[in-house]
Amino acid sequence: MARSRNLLANHQDGSTGAGVPILHFAARLEDSMHAWRERRGRKRGLKTTVIPYTGYGSPGWVRVLCRVVLTRGDVASQRAAKVRGWRSFFSIPVDDVEVTIIAGGTEQKVLAGRGGLVDTRIKVELAPGWHTIVIKTDDTEGVTAEVFVIDPDAAFGIISDVDDTVMVTALPRPLLAAWNTFVLDEHARRPVPGMAVLYERIVQANPSAPVIYLSTGAWNVAPTLSRFLDRNLYPDGPLLLTDWGPTHDRWFRSGREHKASSLERIAQELPGMKWLLVGDDGQHDEQLYGEFAAAHPENVAAVAIRQLSTSEAVLAGGRSRAADNEQETGTAWVFAPDGAGLLDQLKKTGILGSRT
């Protein structure tokens, strides 16, 4: 087996390098708390566990995503992946641990970043399609993670918001958001009607099309969201989430900035792709997608906005007030309250072809 001798320094924005940012006071305080909890956890016999997430890539590279935490026992990975609600936010992250990634016959090492998160891009030659890679630490057995390598000939894909786009959550309302995030599991969450059918029809018509789910949710709830998507027959695809709490330069992480930077990164990584951007009119999706379409018109096939019901809009704090985005960006925009309506509107634009 070939082996990479370079140890990559992992950063939560996915970059690698030797520079270390000066941490904000809140971040230093959080890191100290995590270190204290890790020491106590190890004294109690907790074990290092890798929680794998789905990644993506293109021939020559893949983006690998996982989180390193402390859990209880021999089947720690399975238990960590199935934990739900508030318990997922009490897992103990393990920072700066060396993580080994085995993919395509090569072995590469990275360091887990703040919050135990590994978000890194590695060089590896894999054929287009789904692949299984192995992720492990020195004191854990390997766990498998799925990565989707996008065909270089693919020209179309979906980037989808999650909250109130594929799953009804009314996330901006603080109390309801806390209930949805910390208490309920995937069985109690309600899918948006017709959205799974819409995505499946598009993927059937475009078999090489990747589907990327972009959310402001925390990595802690990734297993719950993945189970929800699978249970409700949404196409498989990577989740791009964020890490709640302080960053290296501010008290609280910006969900809007996370989405904007993720879209920009995807445009740079996959410059030949055109994306159907799917969101809702209850948060900032229209503004974000409009700005992205104006900056990268060559990367946007269309924008589909799910219109919230009156009650959902009240829970979400009102509707966004986007201007005439189609006229401003030159990109097709469609609006409907559910997946069936969006599919009908998208057919009229002609971008989906006759097979849908």
- pLDDT one-digit tens code per residue, 252-286: 556 788 999 999 999 999 999 999 999 998 868 99
Give 120's pLDDT tier (boundaries 50, 70, 90): very high
Answer yes or no: are the C-beta atoms of 166 and 304 closer than 8 Å.
no
Strand partners, 333: 303
Q: Which of 114, 149, 184 is the last residue of a domain?
A: 149
User: Is the same domain home to 82 and 209?
Assistant: no
Q: Does residue 5 carry a pLDDT above 50? A: no
User: Is the same domain home to 40 and 163?
Assistant: no
User: Is the same domain home to 163 and 29?
Assistant: no
Is residue 356 domain-resident? no
Query: How high is the pLDDT of residue 157?
Result: 97
Query: How high is the pLDDT of residue 101?
Result: 98
Give 216's pLDDT tier (boundaries 50, 70, 90): confident
User: Is the same domain home to 126 and 172?
Assistant: no
Query: How high is the pLDDT of residue 217?
Result: 82
* Token reading at 180: 């949805």
CB neighbours of 226 closer than 8 A, spacing ≥ 6? 54, 239
CB neighbours of 331 closer than 8 A, spacing ≥ 6? 293, 297, 300, 301, 302, 303, 325
* Token reading at 308: 């919230």
For residues 135, 138, 142 and 148, what is the CA-based torsion angle, rounded to 10 degrees? 10
Residue with more model confidence, 103 or 12? 103
Give 299's pLDDT tier (boundaries 50, 70, 90): very high
Q: Which of 149, 166, 192 is the last residue of a domain?
A: 149
Please give the tally of structural domains in the chain: 2
Residues of the chain above pLDDT 90, percent: 49
User: Is the same domain home to 43 and 164?
Assistant: no
Digit-coded pLDDT (tens) for 33-72? 666 666 676 677 788 889 999 999 999 999 999 999 888 7
Q: Does residue 1 carry a pLDDT above 80? A: no
Q: Which of 149, 164, 179 is the last residue of a domain?
A: 149
Is residue 54 domain-resident? yes
Q: Does residue 90 carry a pLDDT above 70? A: no
Strand partners, 102: 107, 134
User: Is the same domain home to 235 and 177?
Assistant: yes
| Count of helices and strands (H, E) across the chain | 10, 17
Digit-coded pLDDT (tens) for 336-356? 999 999 999 999 888 876 555
**Interaxial angle between packed helices 255-269 and 285-295, expressed in degrees from 0 to 180 and rounded to the nearest 10:** 30
User: Is the same domain home to 85 and 225?
Assistant: no
Digit-coded pLDDT (tens) for 163-180? 889 998 755 555 545 555
CB neighbours of 140 closer than 8 A, spacing ≥ 6? 47, 48, 49, 50
How do beta strands 129-137 and 274-280 pair? unpaired
The rounded distance, in Å, linking the Cα atoms of 29 and 34 is: 9
Domain span at residue 87 reads 2-149
Answer yes or no: are the C-beta atoms of 226 and 238 closer than 8 Å.
no
The rounded distance, in Å, linking the Cα atoms of 276 and 195 is: 13
| pLDDT, mean over the chain | 79
Where is average pLDDT lowest: 213-227, 244-258, 316-330?
316-330
Residues of the chain above pLDDT 70, percent: 68
User: Is the same domain home to 10 and 106?
Assistant: yes
Q: Does residue 182 carry a pLDDT above 80? A: no
Query: How high is the pLDDT of residue 31?
Result: 63
The rounded distance, in Å, linking the Cα atoms of 262 and 260 is: 5
User: Is the same domain home to 137 and 206?
Assistant: no
Is residue 355 domain-resident? no
Is residue 354 domain-resident? no
User: Is the same domain home to 78 and 42?
Assistant: yes
The rounded distance, in Å, linking the Cα atoms of 258 and 255 is: 5
Give the single-character DSSP code of 176.
H
In terms of Cα–Cα distance, which of 234, 233, 276, 240 is closest to 255? 240
User: Is the same domain home to 144 and 162?
Assistant: no
User: Is the same domain home to 333 and 249?
Assistant: yes
